Structure 1
């Protein structure tokens, strides 16, 4: 019996899905959140894609989303010049942080009491969620729009920008620590605290850097312009996607392509492994979020083995 990849397709968005984020594993499983240009970020159960709720309140495209570890709090950044904090259980807005330009990125620190934002003002801001009305710390130095900001530790932030740089920042002093320059815009970064690694994409390249000394570990060329990549926590494989609509899976040690699946009907903007690494999620220009099995054919979530070429056992879509 042969098996094939059958992604779960999560409908509900009406415009491109540009970012996604997972929670950690809780006693109720884990969650996934999607950012969309329709301005209505959605929360779902991470292992099935089943819709939980939609956060209503932004007046423009939502570019970035984040969940705290236990999935009780969500953050969003949008084209309406605001970042918002939400109660993820009720969907109620807890606080809005006004900016002076489009907010592209939001992320919680490991403890979940700080929020970092990156905007088209070229400014990184850190908000204390225990004192939401206090003036945020600001870090300046990027020469173009921010794309992504992530906490590496409680005291170190990693950022990337349209100025073709990666920068590390000290939270306490609000000063730049290190800067890396690239030949292309860095489109995505993924910070792995467990492996002390930074996964990044630029042009047709997926690269892995040691975050402690900012040394290049390895990099691989991919057959298309890549927008996003994610490393499996055990460092056995990584997945990536970009302009040619495909999701690629590679061996991390050798760089050998293991699989390539085409399920989306538009460029892939974001891809991330789930916290248990049993699946990876992707968001696309086609307006869908899709969930893919890491080990094709494994009995997990809504999946079961599918005999090729029959479609009789195909899992149903997860409607939003």
Structure 2
């Protein structure tokens, strides 16, 4: 499996997202310029220029017309995908940690950090409202949010917290309606399955877990020996890819072999590991399957994105029962 190496960021990757059709990859990094690439050949289409701090999160709406990014400069920006122009700047009081478009693209949300005596909160905006006033602000008591996604049908927001808790907030009332604490440490990433019926978490406690979106029932667990920074579910097979590795600050003291910076593939149901892909020099911070399931992309602390197209042997592979 020969990867396409995408080199356009000066600092470590923080998040990557595919467009709905999968023809474009959007990437954010600790430098100030999010990038957009063609997923087929790795050609860089352009950059979004305007942030003054590390960009922590990125998302693209359903029809790939708008992109949103959240950064450490206390702003969440809305961009025109075609021209790269800034459509709107939403100011927050602290750094924006995670962001996302709702399924229709009419609503957007971002979560802020708990710093400088200010609480962590979820801010929800109507994209068609020019007043820049949030439709709803949900203050968070206790542990701060480290990752957040929209639930199906735009009825709720699912959040992962620093203490390992996963919560569900109702959009009508703003109240916490569900919570589960299966992890013991920081939740780095949450991703939905293609049909939205399940979601997978990646945690610093060296495990990744699968949950039912509606009931929050804990379904499966995938264990590794290193912190897991990102996890993604295959849209066509019962496969899971995990990305992570040793903490970034310890990387210089170990070789790449010991640091375990591989992308690891597990069977979703049997919880067994069946493959690893090496390549990154440093932990993988974000990974995602292509919407057609025929390739995946990982972004690492080394600032590179690697697009891997699966060999025929991957599609021929069958689990022995």
- Determine if contact 1:152/1:193 at 8 Å carries over to the other structure: no
Matching of residues 5-44 of structure 1 within 5 Å: 5-25=1-21, 30-44=23-37
TM-score, with structure 1 as normaliser: 0.87
TM-score, with structure 2 as normaliser: 0.87
Matching of residues 6-155 of structure 1 within 5 Å: 6-25=2-21, 30-121=23-114, 122-136=120-134, 137-153=136-152, 154-155=154-155
| Distance (whole Å) between structure 1 residues aligned to residue 138 and residue 237 of structure 2 | 32
Write 1 or 2 for the structure with the bigger share of helix.
2
C-alpha distance 102-168 of structure 1, shift in aligned 2 (>3 A): same
Partner deviation per Cα, 1:38-91 (whole Å, 9 max, x = no partner) = 111001112322110000000000000001122211000000000000001000
Which consecutive unaligned segments of at least 5 residues does structure 2 have? 115-119, 246-259, 316-321
| Distance (whole Å) between structure 2 residues aligned to residue 148 and residue 296 of structure 1 | 34
Q: Tell me whether 1:272 sits opposite 2:288 in the alignment.
A: yes
Name the structure 2 match of 1:211.
213
Matching of residues 244-263 of structure 1 within 5 Å: 244-263=260-279
Name the structure 2 match of 1:284.
300
> How far 1:295 moved relative to its partner?
4.0
Partner deviation per Cα, 1:164-199 (whole Å, 9 max, x = no partner) = 211101111111111122311111111226051010
- Determine if contact 2:210/2:218 at 8 Å carries over to the other structure: yes
Name the structure 2 match of 1:314.
none
Name the structure 1 match of 2:159.
159
3-state DSSP of counterpart to 1:104: strand
Name the structure 1 match of 2:202.
201
Which consecutive unaligned segments of at least 5 residues does structure 1 have? 300-320
Name the structure 1 match of 2:253.
none
| Distance (whole Å) between structure 1 residues aligned to residue 263 and residue 189 of structure 2 | 15
Partner deviation per Cα, 1:110-165 (whole Å, 9 max, x = no partner) = 00111110110410111110104242111122423322221112111111121321
Name the structure 2 match of 1:231.
233
Q: Which stretch of the first structure deviates more once superposed, 91-100 or 212-221?
A: 212-221
Name the structure 2 match of 1:191.
192
